[in-house]
Structure 1
Amino acid sequence: MRKLSCLFFISILFTNISIAQKKKISLEEIWGGTFRTEGLDVLRSMKSGTEYTVLNFDRSTGTRSIDKYDYKTQQKVGTIVSSSEEIPPFSSYQFNKDESKLILATEVEPIFRRSRLGVYYIYDLASKSLTKIAEQKIQEPELSPDGSKVAYVFENNIYVRDLKSNTVKPITTDGKKGSIINGITDWVYEEEFAFVQAYEWNSDGTKIAFLRFDETNVPNFSMDVYGANLYQTQNQFKYPKAGEDNAVVSLHMYDVKKAITSTIDLGEAYYIPRIKWMNNPNYLSVQTINRHQDHLKLHEVNAKDNTVSILLEEKDDAYVDIHDNLTFLADDSFIWTSERDGYNHIYLHDEDGKLMNQVTKGPWEVTNYYGYDQNNDRIYYQSVENGSINRDVYSISSSGKNKKRLSNAEGTNSAAFSADYTYFINTFSNANTPFKYTLHKAIDGKKVKEIKDNTALKSKLAAYEISPKEFSTISINGNDLNMWMIKPTDFDANKEYPLLMYQYSGPGSQSVANRWNGANDYWYQMLASEGYIIACVDGRGTGLKGRDFKKVTQLELGKLEVEDQIAAADKLSELPYIDADRTGIWGWSYGGFMSTNALLKGSETFEMAIAVAPVTSWRFYDTIYTERYMQTPQENASGYDDNSPFNYPEMLKGDYLLVHGSGDDNVHVQNSMRMIEALIQADKDFEWAIYPDRNHGIFGGNTRNHLYKKMTEFAHKNLRDRPKTDKTIKSEEIKG
């Protein structure tokens, strides 16, 4: 018995030595790129389906190149173009339809989240010649299908350059900053409908359809840019806040040969979130949706006479999501996704919009649609059939039969298919495995070859204290909610640990997913090594559990979601190894809105909260996002105000850190300023920080490192090292 005890002691001793010898992750390493994963940068299948291109960067020479690889062998078979003295370094590329020319982007500078200005060149693959599209910085250039022309936007007007005659012709002339935008979306469309280029060539290059935005009556938003000069400057742009005027959007058709523009009458179209040409060059599809976003129409426009008909309509008691899952087949019948049966699934419609059949069915969600192989009648998609925290790749016939699971590893799988659907490159990761890239046959999912697996990163991490992310569910308010938890590597169930909860909780979002680490996960590992338990719970309103679970928060953002976080914290605090008097919560953006409300409304549960770039009133946020879930403030005043934290600052009891970037064009610093003023007037003590000129991401230079150092020190002071209360001392005396 004594020998066994001795062996047990030695085992424990070696375990503790092993843990002690491991390194702790540091903030400098996280934000310095120490744990960066390798990927396949800007991969595109070539039309042959046997080869693909990748944008590569040679760090030793500083050269960028577009290299061509063979799918089957995975060997590099050539270089299409590389930067040199004649060809400036480029950051992205785009082929025309017949792959005879490339557009290369250089000197790119961001405008907002997705929009960019840049100097663009056309590279001719046959002649190896380089042509600058315009002397000025322009937006969204696109080659015509045959490569003879290029369209682009400059100062809110659309231009077409004929590459043979070297002439430039304006399509529009009325573009004006702060008033009229042609061919480019306004701020709110870019942010919420997730696209910038608002024009498109038809399949034979004879017509260009484009959107025109009249934002004259949209209220102006301004923010100071402090910079480094003697006087600050001011950035002004149109930003429609909830209940205010949106831009008036209209659809237009330009005949390239005749140089004539016509206006398309779409009736009472309020938003036009998508335009897409069909295979037939005379037919354009257009999606429109009303201001409440609960009634979507898919239109067909006959470009010969500009007549409009409706192919299908989608209605929902809450809202209809906008997506890009629309594929026109050879005869212009089409594939579409919809939540009409309560879950997001794939549907097949004929060319007149009539439903032919529902392709996928079940109490699970299709999360991505990859395309349709018409030759083999296979639809390829990604779904959560294997559990809502996992993703797998599947194929199925258009009849809904012969479904095949093409990925086999449990975690997050996504696919990039060759143009002819012979192969796909699978990207896999889970909570324990960094990204792995493998080549597979599309017909049966059989693996052909390993491409890249990030083993170097995994080997590097072996030297650090890394705790597993434990997945489970927790029963809260009648729902089994997905949860993950990270414990210290030397976790002792007989000890009590502070609990830090993270959440985002925005409609349709997901934070609990079986995938590889993001930067925050490394921060959580650092905190775990310093004595914390970290947990995340996806409450009601989050995604991938069906329509009803997602849309239950309609008209009252921040009510049920906050109730779930408070209840989850209370339940976790019942665990013997969690200290109920050291419970914190943090979040960013929507998560900052949530953490602020959780601290105020859950003052008996949470001792500490950190809010980064939070919304503090949905009255301050944009029309498209906010009204989708809340309708307008004029229609739903209580929904806006009852969960706006600066309306009840007197409820603050715990320790609160509020952080914002002054250059945030998305969630304006106004949100935090109003919260700060309310807390001051309520005579509440709190901490706050403003990062000058930083946008919603609060990054650049040392900024992220500084921010996370501040948050870490705040958590240590007010959570980990929080003085014991009378309640805690009495509880320990009872246990003793």
Structure 2
Amino acid sequence: MKISRIFAIVGFLVTSLVTAQNKEITLEEIWNGTFRTEGMQALHSMNNGKQYSVLNFDRSTRTSSIDIYDYKTLKKVETLVNSSNLNDVQAFFDYSFSKDESKILLTTQSRPIFRRSTLGEYFVYDRKTNTATKLSDRLVQEPTFSPDGNKVAYGFENNLYVKDLIKGETKQITFDGNKNSIINGITDWVYEEEFSFVRAFDWNANSNKIAFIRFDESEVPEFSMDVYGSDLYQTQQVFKYPKAGETNSKVSLHLYDLETEKLSEIKVGKTYNDFYIARLNWSNDADILSAQYMNRHQNELDLWMINTQNNTSDLVLAEKDKAYVDVTFNLTFLEDNSFIWTSEKDGYNHIYHYDKSGKLINQVTNGNWEVTDYYGFDEDSNTIFYQSVENGSINRDVYSIKLNGKNKKRLTQKDGTNNASFSADFTYFINTHSSANSPQEYTLHDAKSGKLIKSIKDNSDLVEMLKDYKLSKKEFSTLSVNGNELNMWMIKPEDFDPNKTYPLFMYQYSGPGSQQVANRWNGANDYWYQYLAQQGYIVACVDGRGTGYKGADFKKVTQNELGKYEVEDQIEAAKKLGNLPYIDEERIGIWGWSYGGFMSSNALFKGNDVFTMAIAVAPVTSWRFYDSIYTERYMTTPQENSSGYDENSPINHVDKLKGDFLLIHGTGDDNVHVQNTMRMVEALVQANKQFEWMIYPDKNHGIYGGNTRLHLYTKMTNFINKTLGDKK
């Protein structure tokens, strides 16, 4: 009896261990946060260079705190503010310091407008008095401290306001703002989406001048979306949206002088027709404003230095490209007002140093690789810190280099994706590392040598939990396609048998300069691919021509013909993979979202002898339907390039459909309008092609909220099983 009992217990333990190690991922787990990684929220390096702050949230009390930690010991040394001690603030979820860190702007409520823009409730916390004062009784946009910390400028209903924190008075400084007509200091829809910024105003160093961009969108065509909601009658959201070739906002540059209370328009020494002001930044000189002007084709960028004291302007840099010039946030002024600039003018994105007149001092970095992020410049050590793909285009490493281009050092040693946050004096950096095999790990390093000092957070609990699951390795390789070595990853079933054949499901995005094949930790989709691998699918992703981080020629080959070479590469890649002995060439599918939906639709139609099925989520179906800045950057206008627009748009190839097609869109998509799907549906109907589709009411381009993502991925999974699954 005892021996039998021992055997029974051992058998139970073995069975339990095997079961635990073979736990399968569920769709519910993917979308309920089971695999969420822990991070460091709202990390800020304090001015003293010795400490950093983070935002902590106590879920039990629903309160927030800003806590100060010591870089050297990583121990908490102080709580700057805790919402439990503030009468009018229950919690806050973001914060920003004034330049001298004497005041903190706390975000207590936020309501999204579009992708990057929000309306919010804000409090100004004074560290000297330990009091929090509401900035405004209204929900406002983009509140920003003046450099002296005594004022806050913000946008409200298309006008700009300045609150004097000493006097407690608020002054309106523009008065012509009007919905769908005039916007002051806040970007319009297309600038926000495609130039990636919302705050279009900036304080000068002396806190006595504000420069801003004014948008006159009165002649921009309107787009309207029905909002179905839960009431008896639907409403409409109406906003200005310039589609390719249509009228853009007329932009102008303006200056408000707080001392004279004078508002004036700034002119530069060149006449532009149909142009963009893509960036504005004050230099270290309180009278010198920089502004970046671009022509509508975006293949010419002019950097102006404007003297606001005597109303003169100097064109210090003029970049031209046969395709387009990328706009970045990397312009950095040094103490002598020379500046750092990044450009891909030699064929790869690199760092350059110019004097204040625009004369090139030297190219700081060079080589057949790309700088992918610029972290800053340390005046004391004359050192630039940056991130690049020098260690392989799927990896990211942190480097330092002298301003003269010498003494380059690799500061991170682990392959994968490394991203740094430096202390204010560049003594330390906190590195975030992840790879396909390891989740985000936060470590403290010496900025001079890169030497590891201490581990801060490593997501070890997630690693331990995932040991119970049946997971497959993400395998990185390259695939020779159409004369190029393309980066690829592949996930096979954990019990993969090379003597069997498996259906292949391909994912891609493929948009200009993008990257999906990267050595980094899982996102939600990666867990979905693991789930599909558990169901017996091989999942693969190939970054074709037009994607990023392999040089300008590789990226810009798709110019004027979006959807031609990228689709050719996906079709050819599928053919090559289909020739592998363990892949069933009769069961190959492809999917994508947004640009990827445009691609998957095209791949199914044009590659109807290769792909069995496709899923397109929120796809562009004709570039004529998409916005001006993005589309014209790569295609010029439809008036100039009608064949480029029409020959590669899937809406014009529906007659070629042979396989199974699932089309999905949200009706509240302000970015890629549901118009794209509706027009595609009508084209498919008139071509008498059968297909499936799913509409998500009032959901935007991200299609999320409540159970929406779970429903969406369940829908797609069922479609995959029906069309690619074993039908024997």
TM-score of the superposed pair, with normalisation by structure 1: 0.95
- Do the aligned partners of 2:606 and 2:653 also contact (CA within 8 Å) in 1? no
Report the Cα offset of residue 306 of structure 1. Answer: 2.1
Which runs of 5 or more structure 2 residues have no equivalent in the other structure? 1-13
2: CA distance, partners of 1:488 / 1:174 = 61
Once the two structures are superposed, residues 329-372 of structure 1 have per-residue CA deviations (whole angstroms, 9 ceiling, x without a partner) of 00100111000100000001011110000010100000000001
Whether 1:343 and 2:348 are equivalent positions in the alignment is yes
Q: Is the 8 A contact 1:481 1:539 kept in 2?
A: yes
Aligned counterpart in structure 1 of residue 241 of structure 2, from 227, 231, 239: 239
User: Aligned match of 2:620 in 609, 615, 618?
Assistant: 615
Determine the C-alpha separation between the residues in 2 that align with 1:625 and 1:268: 24
Amino acid at match of 1:109: R
Alignment-derived partner of residue 605 in structure 1: 610
The residue aligned with 2:698 is 693
- Give structure 1 regions of 4+ aligned residues with deviation exceeding 2 angstroms: 14-21, 266-269
1-structure distance, mates of 2:503, 2:22: 22
Task: Measure, in 2, the Cα distance between the counterparts of 1:229 and 1:616.
Answer: 31
Candidates 487, 500, 512, aligned match of 2:517: 512
Contact 2:251/2:276, CA 8 A, preserved across alignment: yes
Partner residue of 2:337 out of 332, 336, 344: 332
**2:533 matched to 1:531?**
no
User: Which ranges of structure 1 fall in alignment gaps of 5 or more residues?
Assistant: 1-13, 724-736
Which amino acid counterpart does residue 136 of structure 2 have in structure 1? A
What are the superposed Cα offsets for residues 517-574 of structure 1, whole Å, 9 maximum, x if unpaired? 0000000000001100000000000000000000000000000000000000000001
Q: Partners in 2 of 1:475 and 1:320 — Cα distance?
A: 29
In the alignment, the residues of structure 1 paired with residue 727 and residue 405 of structure 2 have an alpha-carbon distance, to the nearest angstrom, of 58
Correspondence 1:457-496 to 2 at 5 A: 457-496=462-501
Q: 2 CA distance for matches of 1:160 and 1:530?
A: 58
After superposition, where does 1:132-151 map in structure 2 within 5 Å?
A: 132-151=134-153
Contact 1:244-1:623 within 8 A present in 2 as well: yes
Which residue does the alignment assign to 2:409? 404
Counting only pairs closer than 5 Å after superposition, residues 537-556 of structure 1 correspond to structure 2 as 537-556=542-561
Distance in 2, Cα, partners of 1:663 & 1:674: 16
Q: How does 1:614-693 map to 2 (within 5 A)?
A: 614-693=619-698
Whether contact under 8 Å (1:582, 1:722) holds in the other structure is no
Deviation at 1:228, TM superposition (A): 0.2
- Within a 5 Å distance, the mapping from 1:166-565 to structure 2 comes to 166-266=168-268, 267-269=270-272, 270-565=275-570
Q: Shift of residue 181 of structure 1?
A: 0.2
The AA in structure 2 aligned to 1:646 is I
The reply to whether residue 587 of structure 1 matches residue 592 of structure 2 is yes
| C-alpha distance in structure 1 between counterparts of 2:41 and 2:21, whole Å | 36
Q: Distance in 1 between matches of 2:346 and 2:407?
A: 21
CA contact (8 A) 2:623 2:631 kept: yes
In structure 1, what is the equivalent of residue 125 of structure 2? 123
| 1:363-407 superposed Cα distances (whole Å, 9 cap, x missing partner) | 000000000111111110000000000000000001111010000
Segment of structure 1 superposing worse, 222-231 or 57-66: 57-66
Distance 1:125 1:165 in 2: 17
Deviation of 1:166 after TM superposition, in Å, equals: 2.0
Secondary structure, aligned partner of 2:506: strand
1:423 and 1:395 map into 2 onto residues whose CA distance is: 12
How big is the shift at 1:164? Answer: 2.1
What SS class does the counterpart of residue 366 from structure 2 fall into? coil
> In the alignment, is residue 91 of structure 1 matched against residue 93 of structure 2?
yes
Instruction: Give the distance between the partners of 1:719 and 1:279, measured in 2 at CA.
Output: 60
Instruction: Answer with 98-107 or 336-345: which moved more.
Output: 98-107
RMSD, aligned α-carbons: 1.2
Of 45-54 and 267-276, the range deviating more from structure 2: 267-276
The CA distance in 2 between the partners of 1:632 and 1:673, in whole Å, is 23
Give the drift of 1:253.
0.8
Q: Label 1:325 to 1:15 Cα distance change in 2 as closer, same or farther (>3 A).
A: farther
- 2:17 and 2:504 map into 1 onto residues whose CA distance is 26
- Partner Cα separation in structure 1 for residue 90 and residue 340 of structure 2: 41
User: What SS does structure 1 have at the residue aligned with 2:669?
Assistant: coil
Contact 2:20 2:469 in 1 (8 A): no
> Whole-Å Cα distance in 2 between the matches of residues 597 and 228 of structure 1?
36
When residues 123 and 17 of structure 1 are mapped into structure 2, their CA distance, relative to the original with a 3 A threshold, is closer
**Between Structure 1 and Structure 2, how many residues are aligned?**
710
Give secondary structure in 2 for the equivalent of 1:234: strand
Any conservation in 2 of the 1:19–1:489 contact (CA below 8 Å)? no
How far, CA to CA, are the matches of 2:665 and 2:398 in structure 1? 39
Letter paired with 1:435:
Q
Q: What is the deviation of 1:268?
A: 3.4
Per-residue displacement from partner, 1:167-218 (whole Å, max 9, x unpaired)? 2211100000010000100000000000001111111101000110000000
What's the secondary structure of 2:634's corresponding residue? helix
CA–CA distance in 1 between the matches of 2:709 and 2:163? Answer: 43
Q: Residue 19 of structure 1: CA displacement?
A: 7.6
1:82 is displaced (CA, Å) by 1.2
How far apart, in 1, do the equivalents of 2:297 and 2:166 lie? 47
- Cα deviation for residue 57 of structure 1 reads 0.6
Q: Distance in 1 between matches of 2:212 and 2:470?
A: 54
Moved more, 64-73 or 561-570: 64-73
SS of the residue corresponding to residue 348 of structure 2 reads coil
Task: Identify which range, 81-90 or 426-435, moves more after superposition.
Answer: 81-90
* Inter-CA distance 616–349: structure 2 relative to 1 (3 Å threshold): same
CA contact (8 A) 1:345 1:366 kept: yes
Letter in structure 2 aligned against 1:52: Y
Q: Give, in angstroms, the shift of residue 610 of structure 1.
A: 0.3
| SS at 1:312 equivalent | strand
